């Protein structure tokens, strides 16, 4: 069975179609890349899936059940976690406390949530900062913390919105290793990313959006040679030449 099914999802803001009849399926255990130029509607699609916006039309199924009109906390309870494009965490709470908030979803008691947070912290290699405030972390560390908070909810599907933005090549490699580790632990991933190198190296399938529409779908090799994609990124003249 498909883990996530997006069926003809449209999201309209007034006259603007941020997402226009987008459809795709995702199976368990995949790493999916979602790419496209700025304003293509990638984050809007994330917001529709995670319950922040109700789609104007279309349907979203998770494990065969509709999640289209569920609020974010219910979507999270079903097993979908996400990170945010801008760094978002609880600044005045420590690293462990940040992750405990996520861990409380599965572990009602503080002791257990604490243990879960410790484990996640080790997993994302942030253990040495456990008792520091989130506001004292460097931006790359805060990105990793965001990932840790989402992982602490023990999701089946994890949606990452530009976790690699602003990182150095070395840090990117570390995050890529981390994402493979996440996938190997049984979590399905959808990754929004601008860095083609990163997307090409870990994603098994890539969806390309442009002006709210899905213009291409395929493995990295196919996408790299797709005429429509080249056109969207580099302009018409390149595609013809």
Partner 1 sequence: MNVKKENLIRSSLLVISVFILIYPFLFKAAFYQHIMIMVFMYGLLAVSWDLMGGYANMFSFGHSAFFGIGAYTSTVMLIHWGINPWIGMIVGGCLSGIVGVLISYPTSKLRGHYFAIATLAFLFVTKILLENWRFVGAAQGLSVPMVKESSLLYFQFHGSKIPYYYIMLGLLVLGVVLTKWVIRSRIGYYLRALRESPEVAQSLGINTAKYRLIAIALSAFLAAISGTFYAQYVLYIDPPSAISLHISVQVVLISVFGGTGTINGPLLGTAILIPLINLIGAWLGGAGRGIAFMVFGAVIVVMCLIQPDGLIKYFEGWKLSNRRENEAA
Give me the residues that bind partner 1 (CB under 8 A), please: 50-52, 71-73, 76-77, 81-82, 84, 88-93, 97, 100-102, 104-105, 108-111, 113-114, 118, 130-131, 149-150, 152-153
Residue 66 pairs with which residues in a beta bridge?
61
- CA 88, distance to chain mean position in Å, is 14
Looking at the Cβ atoms of 8 and 91, the one nearer to partner 1 is 91
Name the minimum Å distance from CB 229 to partner 1.
Answer: 30
Residues 6 or more apart from 109 whose CB is under 8 A from it? none
Residue 161 φ/ψ, nearest 5 degrees: -100, 95
Looking at the Cβ atoms of 93 and 196, the one nearer to partner 1 is 93
With beta carbons less than 8 A apart as the criterion, state whether 96 and 114 touch: yes
Tokens of 235: 């302009």
Give the closest residue to 68 by CA, choosing from 79, 60, 80, 56: 60
First-to-last CA distance in the chain?
42
Name the minimum Å distance from CB 151 to partner 1.
Answer: 11
Looking at the Cβ atoms of 11 and 214, the one nearer to partner 1 is 11
Looking at the Cβ atoms of 21 and 115, the one nearer to partner 1 is 115
Name the minimum Å distance from CB 238 to partner 1.
Answer: 38
Name the minimum Å distance from CB 196 to partner 1.
Answer: 27
């Amino acid at each position: 069975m498909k883990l996530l099914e997006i069926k003809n999802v449209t999201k309209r803001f007034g006259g603007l179609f941020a997402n226009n009849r987008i459809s795709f399926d995702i199976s368990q255990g995949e790493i999916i890349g979602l790419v496209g130029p700025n304003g293509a509607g990638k984050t809007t699609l994330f917001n529709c899936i995670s319950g922040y916006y109700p789609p104007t039309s279309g349907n979203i199924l998770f494990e065969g059940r509709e999640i289209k009109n569920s609020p974010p906390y219910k979507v999270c309870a079903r097993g979908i976690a996400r990170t945010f494009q801008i760094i978002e965490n609880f600044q005045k709470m420590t690293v462990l406390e940040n992750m405990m908030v996520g861990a409380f979803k599965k572990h009602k008691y503080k002791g257990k949530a604490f243990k879960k947070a410790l484990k996640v912290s080790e997993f994302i290699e942030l253990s040495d900062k456990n008792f520091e405030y989130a506001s004292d972390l460097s931006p790359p560390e805060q990105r990793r913390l965001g990932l840790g908070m989402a992982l602490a909810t023990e999701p089946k599907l994890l949606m990452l919105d530009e976790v690699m933005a602003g990182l150095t090549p070395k840090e990117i490699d570390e995050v890529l290793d981390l994402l493979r580790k996440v996938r190997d632990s049984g979590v399905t991933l959808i990754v929004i990313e601008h860095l083609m190198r990163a997307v090409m190296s870990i994603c098994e399938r890539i969806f390309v959006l442009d002006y709210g529409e899905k213009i291409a779908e395929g493995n990295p090799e196919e996408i790299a040679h797709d005429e429509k994609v080249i056109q969207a990124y580099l302009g018409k003249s390149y595609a013809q030449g």
